[in-house]
């Protein structure tokens, strides 16, 4: 995956940087080089469901989240975050775009006829075989318990509770590292810099999440945010005192201490509960 810049033929093109997605590529299948489709024009029909857009409204129809609305229609791809088809090899049929996440997704065809989507890691190619379970090899795309993954391995899609499904390190370019083991727990360094304990029976996928160039992309124009369902966001400083704690004042005032519309301090106020159950598993806090 690479990024593409454009000639400034229009104001919107001047700062536009997007990811390049190859349509076809040469892949080795059973020793033979074949031209395979790396992406599909449409998602797998059996693995999509409709997605209703709320526009920031709650069940009563009242606006509860500002600056949302509009945007292109989306369909939810059903991603298999649990990977419980143990011991059954699956072939990567396509690597596809997903409008609901920054990472790419891979369509798997299992030998028993099942189909599933997974988060596509770096290095995963069309025609490659992946497998899950305790006996799986610690190779890119394979999912296995933390007890079976070698120390020092880069992993993603990590479970917090056994059987719950992947909940950590899922976005484009992210990864965690299995640093050591202590008793029933694995010590994992997360993308945020936090080091914490996770049960050895929890599963993770080997490798780094793909589409790492996502952070280099630039929309180039405000209209692209509207396509994604984001409406214009106005700052609290430019509002009136009745609308925001930082509003009011003659001319350009600083607005006082940064805070939210409801008066909660921003820029460093810790909001994590001191009585949170999972705090005992955190060895080192995330970087500021």
Q: Are 155 and 207 in contact (CB under 8 A)?
A: yes
Residue 137 has pLDDT above 90, yes or no: yes
Residue 92 confidence (pLDDT): 96
d(CA 212, CA 42): 23
104-133 residue pLDDT tens? 999 999 999 999 999 999 999 999 999 999
Residue 287 confidence (pLDDT): 78
φ, ψ for residue 259, nearest 5 deg: -155, 170
Residues pairing with 76 in the sheet: 49
Q: Which CATH architecture has domain 2-53+70-222?
A: Roll (2.30)
209-264 residue pLDDT tens? 999 999 999 999 999 999 999 999 999 999 999 999 999 988 888 778 899 999 99
10-51 residue pLDDT tens? 999 999 999 887 655 555 544 554 445 456 788 999 999 999
Residue 88 has pLDDT above 70, yes or no: yes
pTM equals: 0.88
Q: DSSP letters along 134-165, please?
A: TTS-S-TT-EEEGGGSPTT-EEESEESSTTS-
> Under CATH, to which class is 234-288 assigned?
few secondary structures
Least confident of 94-108, 168-182, 246-260: 246-260
Residue 35 confidence (pLDDT): 45
Residue 28 confidence (pLDDT): 52
Residue 40 confidence (pLDDT): 75
Average pLDDT, integer, range 172-182: 96
Angle 90-96-101 from CA coordinates, rounded to 5° = 110
Residue 53 has pLDDT above 70, yes or no: yes
Angle 29-35-38 from CA coordinates, rounded to 5° = 90
Boundaries of every domain in the chain: 2-53+70-222, 234-288
Residue 279 has pLDDT above 50, yes or no: yes
């Amino acid at each position: 995956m690479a990024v593409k810049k454009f000639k400034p033929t229009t104001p919107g093109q001047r700062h536009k940087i997007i990811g390049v997605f190859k349509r076809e590529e040469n892949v080795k299948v059973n020793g033979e080089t074949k031209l395979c489709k790396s992406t599909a024009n449409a998602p797998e029909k059996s693995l999509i469901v409709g997605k209703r857009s709320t526009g920031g409204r709650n069940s009563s129809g009242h606006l509860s989240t500002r600056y949302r609305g509009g945007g292109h229609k989306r369909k939810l791809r059903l991603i298999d975050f649990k990977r419980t088809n143990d011991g059954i090899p699956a072939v990567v049929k396509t690597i596809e775009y997903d409008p609901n996440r920054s990472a790419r997704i891979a369509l798997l065809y299992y030998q028993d006829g099942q189909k599933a989507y997974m988060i596509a890691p770096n290095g995963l190619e069309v025609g490659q075989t992946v497998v899950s379970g305790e006996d799986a090899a610690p190779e890119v795309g394979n999912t296995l318990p933390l007890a079976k993954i070698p120390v020092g391995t880069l992993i993603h899609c990590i479970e917090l509770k056994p059987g719950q499904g992947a909940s950590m390190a899922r976005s484009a370019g992210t990864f965690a590292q299995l640093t050591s083991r202590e008793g029933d727990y694995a010590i994992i360094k997360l993308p945020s810099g936090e080091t914490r304990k996770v049960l050895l029976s929890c599963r993770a996928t080997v490798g780094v999440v793909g589409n790492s160039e996502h952070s280099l992309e630039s929309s180039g124009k405000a209209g692209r945010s509207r396509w994604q369902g984001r409406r214009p966001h106005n700052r609290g400083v430019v509002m009136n005192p009745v609308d925001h704690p930082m509003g009011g004042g003659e001319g350009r005032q600083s607005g006082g201490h940064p805070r939210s519309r409801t008066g909660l301090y921003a820029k460093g106020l810790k909001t994590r509960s001191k009585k949170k159950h999972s705090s005992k598993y955190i060895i080192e806090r995330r970087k500021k």
